[in-house]
Structure 1
């Protein structure tokens, strides 16, 4: 996928390509964690049918601002949030609170490989759409449930949200400036990182279950919990606590185990230095014209961690002597990891980001097929970072309009005729 790639979603099924093009996914999830997982599968070629509530759709269709502008530049009520995690999917509206709607979803599940849902624990049982019910009609089905706290344990019935889980897991206790500094206190990460990691872990679990199915012929239930994921990604901070009993604390942009590894002031802003070993530190010193690497207080990383305060103070005095661009020019040629602290616009304008084709353009409809009254067609998203040499991610559908593919899917997957579809629409079961 390249920055100039554009894909038009049509009213007929798109060519199936990609590593997972043989798989069918029924996406009953909404918001971020589940949709992030299914977008990963869709980018790799899976045919993903996204089920949405008629008239409303995924919650994130309304989570704004920011909202899209129409072709005249006027604001709409369509939120940009939705497009971040719903590329390459087909939107089908079904009211699952009705028996006929439940029947449609069960029929789709019969010939699906994977179901992903993020209702509260047990929430789909009353509709006959839980794992036990659907696996009874499709034993090969891989059914992934994404919840805040999992299918077991005292918190299982609770709703879980990324911000809540960041707080409960301890992640916010190690994010932000130290309490002793101005602006100190617990801080959430700038994106819903637990939702995103859960989506990635869910993708891995589904692919593992598919591999197991190759040997057993049977699907299985996957229990993904945001809290489990949040605890897992504490990584070295969690390992340090387990093995020493010491509770990690917030320390801003510094690293608990590596020095110098943080932002430093420059003559015109800031520069990020990520000096991860003693060789890099020696090269920094040689480039900067200092001999700190020969001082026993700073020769090794362990010594620099012990003498962190002094190290950071003298480094800061030095880095103020040059501009950010000058430091980067000086250090990059000596293989000292460094870089600017960009805003998002600067990041997407970076020549390397552009060379990697990370900004994508897609059209929902071919120009001659844009429905009357549709104010949004061209949509920009960020490319998948998965780079496979033989079966790379593909662009087939732009993030869909609500119910854009309802008729197409009901006709091709369930063989319903126009009269049957018209009857369902008249009852409000589909939009």
Structure 2
């Protein structure tokens, strides 16, 4: 382990880091860009902070996603019981290609673009519900319900069950950073699994024109998803299909409200929405760290030895503020132009839901600013709290005044 620059010196994983990780990321980029850090759960992981190294790791097949290869047979069988383990996010080739291929058939960019009209309807319905109110919480009243309604409609989840999915999803996303919630995590996992089991059984008998029915029926070279793989894929789509978009919309609106000249520019030129969304993704990306990778063999990176089995995390939000890759990286500029940000990852695990997240964010931001042109924060930006955990970067609430 490299002890030249400690995690404590870097200021990692403190409350201050959670509130604003960028000073710590810049410090690491200068002093120890490939840093072996003590994680909140007590184990060590390599933290990759520079853009160039991040791209290299995300594209290098020697960094694998399926950690069960390091386990014995009994441990592997136990780990694979987890409903979230059997999906493309935690798979390596050839399984990854097969799983992604099966999902892609029910999740094409053309299909997503056709949803734009319905997404606009949902955004306007949510805004209509705000009429007559002077203050709302952007997250509870807008950024959360929009993508959960969209993904639940796509999958075929009954509208009355959407709040259950929010509860389960929040618990599971924050689980990685709070071992103290083991009992709650177990309970919610069991509830979620039981729900999926019953729902998939009904859809097998009574298929409809929804994504779950299509996933059940989907085949790739004569292969179908197993029951466990169906659980994994559906849970991934529900969690990834709304958690990241909640943060993208809320973080993006927060960036606009704390940079009023940029908000005015977007209101005056709504056609800038696409570059604006790309800058939001770069400036305050919804996923702070990539999901886990492990070194499949001992290798050298930036003059350091990463041993076989070592845990590796790419700090996506650090890479997106790397001064070597972006001019004035801490400046929020919606006219920055073509962006090579890593908010959706890189390589074979590039986010399948990126087209959906982009369309939802474009519609959400432009519609809200059009309907409430005087939108402004209803508290000091420094009083806002960011959610705990290292995977997602998002606010717990975002109170605003509607004018």
- For the criterion TM > 0.5, the same-fold answer is no
What is the TM-score with the length of structure 2 in the denominator? 0.23
**TM-score normalised according to structure 1 size:** 0.22
Per residue, is there more strand in 1 or in 2? 1
Structure with max Cα Rg: 1
